[in-house]
């Protein structure tokens, strides 16, 4: 590669910056039940989007179940009493893990949220097959480990319209055990002109050394 081409490629190569914020609660070993058909078909956790890293990449609950029953994951905006608007995210068909409490992560792929706004992510068996029941782990000593949200649920049966039309039940002062990972949108950072000069002078110096070696 010619030196001039190398200088140009380095000078204009974007520098990708990324950051990550994790919201989480510690585990307690205690299980909240029953989750699933024909009982409480929707379990969720409300939260507020971080101030900087607002792209939701994934979230996880800890689930215990005796059978791999069907469920789906959702993200909605939250108005303080219920989900609002259209789904910001809806997963493909998922299956509950069989056995004791197991971390169950839902990959979202990046949903951009508004900093400081309230949202709810939840799992539901509404409209799906099967009648098995499971449970989810609550946070440390089933306490208010996360102050910007709460464990919420709804006995909505197969009627998903109730998510946005009826107030949800909640355990005040109690959270589910959860983990949510957020990232910032990658930004292209263009180097300052002085950076160009430093890179160019350094590469020209290398070229001069190479010429001297050839002459020798």
- Higher pLDDT residue, 12 or 38? 38
Do both 27 and 94 map to the same domain? yes
Do both 54 and 160 map to the same domain? yes
Do both 82 and 131 map to the same domain? yes
176-185 pLDDT tens trace: 999 999 999 6
Per-residue model confidence (pLDDT) at position 38: 80
Q: Which domain holds residue 202?
A: 3-15+190-215
Do both 140 and 199 map to the same domain? no
Do both 138 and 155 map to the same domain? yes
How long, in residues, is the chain?
A: 216
Mean pLDDT score, 30-34: 91
Task: Report pTM.
Answer: 0.77
77-128 pLDDT tens trace: 999 999 999 999 999 999 999 999 999 999 999 999 999 999 999 999 999 9
Mean pLDDT score of the chain, rounded to an integer?
Answer: 82
pLDDT category, 39, cuts 50, 70, 90?
A: confident
DSSP the chain: --HHHHHHHHHT--EEE--EEEEE--EEEEEEEEESTTSB-EEEEEEE--SS--EEEEEEEEEEESS--EEEEEEEEE-SSSEEEEEEEE---EEPPSEEEEEEEEEEEEEE--TT-EEEEEEE-TT-S----EEEEEEGGG----TT--EEEE--TT-TTHHHHSPPEEETT--B-EEEEEEPPPEEEPPPHHHHHHHHHHHHHHHHHHHHHHH-
């Amino acid at each position: 590669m010619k030196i001039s081409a190398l200088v140009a490629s380095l000078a204009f190569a974007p520098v990708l910056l990324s950051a990550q914020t994790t919201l989480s609660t510690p585990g307690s070993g205690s299980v909240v039940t029953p989750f699933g058909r024909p009982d409480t078909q929707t379990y969720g956790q409300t939260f507020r989007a971080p101030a900087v890293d607002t792209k939701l990449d994934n979230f996880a609950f800890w689930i215990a179940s005796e059978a791999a029953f069907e469920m789906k994951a959702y993200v909605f905006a939250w108005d303080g009493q219920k989900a609002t608007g259209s789904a910001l995210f809806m997963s493909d068909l998922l299956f509950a893990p069989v056995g004791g409490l197991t971390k169950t992560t839902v990959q979202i792929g990046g949903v951009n949220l508004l900093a400081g706004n309230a949202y709810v992510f939840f799992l539901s068996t509404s409209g799906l097959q099967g009648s098995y029941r499971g449970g989810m782990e609550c946070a440390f000593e089933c306490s208010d480990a996360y102050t910007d949200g709460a464990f919420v649920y709804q006995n909505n049966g197969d009627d998903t319209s109730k998510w946005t039309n009826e107030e949800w039940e909640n355990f005040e002062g109690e959270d589910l055990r959860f983990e949510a990972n957020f990232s910032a949108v990658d930004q292209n950072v263009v180097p300052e002109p002085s950076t160009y000069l430093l890179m160019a002078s350094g590469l020209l110096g290398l070229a001069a050394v190479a010429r001297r070696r050839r002459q020798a």
